[in-house]
Structure 1
Amino acid sequence: MSRYTCHYSVNLQSSNLRSSLRKLMEVCGLETIYDLDDYLMAREIPGRVSFAKLVTTEVLIDTTHATPTHVKLSFVVKNEELPLKSNNHCRQIFDLLRSTIDRDFDWQPLNAGQSTATLLASKSQSDRFNKADLHAKTTPRQTMMN
């Protein structure tokens, strides 16, 4: 699974955040499928690339640490493709997203240049997610066999 992340600080007074996020997704060729108070999910439109390469983008809006003027946005761009090449399809969409933000939006990057590919931040998180994935994958099969 390819997975890339980036974080931005957004000035809340500069524009309407929701419409800006929707416009960003549209410019990047993604359709918004969920739009909640603190979360937005968009996906690539099927038909252009193989199923495993279809990219999903999640935007986490950190309202817990928001100030009256700024809020933190965390972008997670991912797909099921194994990142065997450094310039894979998921990375291309991630780079398009970042370049569009840099060009069209006045958002300040946090931890500039830092992105995460494929691996999760800590082993304990990785173990927790792997156990959950293993349970989710094996439970239906076991149920069907019984």
Structure 2
Amino acid sequence: MARYTCSFIIAVPLERLQQVLIEVLESCNFDIIYNTGDYLMAREIPGHVSFAKLVTVEVLIDKSTATEQEVRMNFVIKNEELPLQVDNHCHQMFHQVQQAIAQNRHWQLVESVAG
């Protein structure tokens, strides 16, 4: 199973975070399948790759340390594909999500840590 993690601190009003995050994931070809307010799960829309390569994104929004202007988000991006190549489909989607978050004009990226 391919699995990539990263953490972001974003400068954005907390009340706008959910909508902007959903828009970012949808722009990366993900469909939101579960949303509780502090946890979000999205799955890649089928049709471009085999079922085993479909990527799932889990986002944990750390509201316990959030301020009115900054919030930490932890991402897990994974699929059932064995990561036999460095540049596998899951890694490509991981990179796409990282870029979309870093370049979004609705917030400011304060810190990014990939694990």
Q: Which moved more, 1:67-76 or 1:55-64?
A: 67-76
What value does the CA root-mean-square deviation take over the aligned residues?
A: 1.6
Unaligned runs of 5+ in 1: 116-146
Q: Please, what TM-score do these two structures have when normalized by structure 1? A: 0.71
The structure with the largest strand share of the pair is: 2
Equivalent-residue separation in structure 1 for 2:14 and 2:63 (angstroms): 17
Aligned to 2:37: 37
d(CA) in 2 for partners of 1:65 and 1:28?
27
Q: How many residues align?
A: 113
Match of 1:6 in 2: 6
**Displacement over 6 Å in runs of 4+:** none
Q: What do residues 76-97 of structure 1 show as CA deviations (whole Å, max 9, x unaligned)? A: 1000000000000000000001
- Report the 3-state secondary structure (helix = DSSP H, G, I; strand = E; otherwise coil) of the residue aligned with 2:103: helix
Larger helix fraction of residues: 1
Which structure 2 residues correspond to residues 16-27 of structure 1 after superposition, within 5 A? 16-27=16-27
Unmatched runs of 5 consecutive residues or more in structure 2: none
2:8 is paired with a residue of what secondary structure? strand
Q: Which amino acid aligns with 1:94?
A: F
Against the structure 1 CA distance between its residues 63 and 15, is the aligned structure 2 distance closer, same or farther, given a 3 Å change threshold?
closer
- The structure having more radius of gyration, on CA atoms, is 1
Amino acid at match of 1:107: L
Give 1:45 deviation, angstroms.
1.1
- TM-superposed deviation, 1:33: 0.7
Q: Between the two structures, name the one with larger relative contact order (CA 8 Å, sep ≥ 6).
A: 2
2:109 alignment partner in structure 1: 107
